[in-house]
Chains A and B, each alone.
Chain A
Amino acid sequence: MKLTLKIWRQNGPSANGSFESHTLDGVSEDSSFLEMLDQLNEQLLGEGKEPVAFDHDCREGICGTCSLTINGHAHGPEDSTTTCQLHMRKFRDGETVTIEPFRANAFPIVRDLIVDRSAFDRIVQSGGFISVRTGSAPDGNAIPISKVDADNAMDAAACIGCGACVASCKNASAMLFTSAKAAHLNLLPQGQAEKDERAINMVKTMDEAGFGNCRNYGECSAACPKDISLDYIAKLNRDHAKAKLKKIFS
């Protein structure tokens, strides 16, 4: 395949960025999107040019490191797929592919296509944990958990923290990520003791990081490679309201 790549280049956090176009020939349909970018970088190095900086790690869809907004879609147009799992056969020969970083005020650009997603870490640090006595390991099955709750918590825990929800949201809201991280603990018995604090603190940190307000478009869930459901947002809305009301009336 032969592709025209329109790529965002930016030298540093405070530099002005702009698009740069490159033609790449001989792309295999079987290569992944990141392998295609590797091929481009080989070509750029050969021409004595600076390679394009992009994030990646596991390349098997489980770490959440890869990003990229491809033709306007976070992780590209395929549903339920990370950029590293996206294959070039999903594109047409001769197509122009536009590649941009995940854009949000709370995700400052580090260089080219790499953004700083540490705001997500701060949200998790403010409540995405349970404080337990760390003695000997507890007996398996010592705490009964219903199948429904276990499944639900597991579905929420599938979030890999990639940030596609923020990038796909016209309002740069981090509600899908935050609600998934809150829900997988709020649904389980171990998470109950800190449930109210968790809901309030995680939302507070999320607001302070400069993410936008959710307006229920549903774009986040549509872009999410792990299909995190909008239900978790509804649940965080509910848990947060309850926690606030309890605080007011106690």
Chain B
Amino acid sequence: MFSSSLGKKYLMALSGLVLIGFVFVHMAGNLQVLLGQAQINAYAHSLQSLPWFILWGSRLFLLAAVLIHAFTAYSLIVENRKARPNLNEIEATKRAGLASLRMGLTGSILLAFIVFHLLHFTIRTIYPEYAEMMTTVGSPDGTEIHDAFLMVISGFKHDVISVFYVVAMGMLCAHLSHGFSSVFQSLGLRSESWRAKIDLVAIGYAWIIFVGFSIVPLSVLAQKHGIYEFYDPSFFSQEVEEKSLSTNLLNNES
């Protein structure tokens, strides 16, 4: 089923479809940061408290989708280089846009971003102290839970990191503006009368994802640089991070 050239296209499209669905849910989840500490902490906590097999099942499923997607992409690229070893003296195009011609580039930047993002906010090896941020705000039963809100604000207070996130989301926007409609072509689910509509939806979707994801780091940067106050300003002082960490250390010792 998946060994032929078309089989690889089906794998690309199906794994891409899984990721398209995931980024939307993830974006909708993130937007709760705008609703404040209690909201996002409660949401993050509810995800963390899912039964282990659901939590790990979904994580493995997504990991498999990314690995299959990236592996198939690189094997397509390598095979295609072999299929056309000699370039033209003049390489011209009539219809193909940059988004489609640069899927491998935008995809590779996304792969790098995914690794960084996991180390940053999920495994928290880049700033290990993010794991120690605890609070009762947003907790369903008054016990201490992880302070996702504080972690996000602290994370995006670094200009370079926030800019990298926004640039990566720009890459995602480009990737999706071709990828979304490409899925329908690869799976054979479109016809001439639908083509223009699907292309429009793809571009709309890509922009919604870009704006939805970028709004969080941009809002934190805007507040840090005094442009607009989105959040409780006390989270922007250095002490709040330290206080959260020290109370946590005290708790651990007692």
A residues lining the B interface (CB < 8 Å): 6, 8, 19, 69, 71-73, 77, 79, 98, 100, 103-106, 168-173, 203-204, 206-207, 210-219, 221-223, 229-231, 233-241, 244-245, 248
Contact = CB atoms under 8 A, between A and B. Distances in A.
Interface stretch (B2-10, B108-116, B234-242): B2-10
Contact of A213 (B9, B86, B195): B9
A222 B178 CA distance: 17
Interface residues of B, number: 41
A72 B95 CA distance: 13
Contacts of A221: 95
- Nearest 5 pairs of A and B residues by beta carbon: A238-B188, A72-B92, A212-B83, A72-B90, A237-B188
Grouping DSSP codes into helix (H, G, I), strand (E, B) and loop, the A interface class, with mixed when no group exceeds half, is mixed
Contact of B84 (A170, A216, A240): A170
B192 A100 contact: no
30 contacts: A72-B88, A73-B92, A73-B94, A79-B94, A103-B86, A104-B84, A105-B84, A170-B101, A171-B83, A172-B83, A173-B5, A173-B80, A203-B6, A207-B5, A210-B83, A212-B82, A213-B8, A215-B103, A221-B95, A230-B195, A231-B190, A231-B191, A237-B6, A237-B9, A237-B10, A237-B186, A238-B189, A239-B188, A240-B4, A241-B6
B85 interface: yes
B102 to A, nearest CB: 11
B95 A217 contact: yes
Nearest to B73: A215
Nearest to B182: A216
Given A210-B83, A217-B95, A238-B187, 15 more contacts: A72-B89, A79-B94, A100-B90, A103-B87, A103-B88, A105-B85, A170-B91, A207-B5, A211-B5, A215-B103, A217-B93, A229-B192, A230-B185, A231-B191, A237-B187
A8 B87 CA distance: 13
Contacts of A218: 95-96, 100
Contacts, number: 139
B1 to A, nearest CB: 5
B187 A211 contact: no
B152 interface: no
Contacts of B103: 215
B19 interface: no
B203 interface: no
B185 A234 contact: yes
Contact of B191 (A211, A234, A244): A234
Given A6-B89, A238-B189, A214 B83 contact: no
Nearest to A69: B88
A244 B80 CA distance: 23
Given A229-B192, A230-B195, A234-B189, A217 B90 contact: no
Interface in B137-196: 178, 182, 184-192, 195
Nearest to A218: B95
A105 B82 contact: yes
B215 interface: no
B44 interface: no
Nearest to B186: A237
A216 B195 CA distance: 12
A217 B101 contact: yes
A30 B86 CA distance: 33
Interface string B58-88: 0000000000000000001001101111111
A223 B100 CA distance: 17
A172 B6 contact: no
With most chain B CB atoms within 10 A of its CB, the pick from A77, A234, A245 is A234
Interface string B10-31: 1000000000000000000000
Given A170-B84, A212-B83, A241-B10, A219 B5 contact: no
A134 to B, nearest CB: 32
Nearest to A219: B96
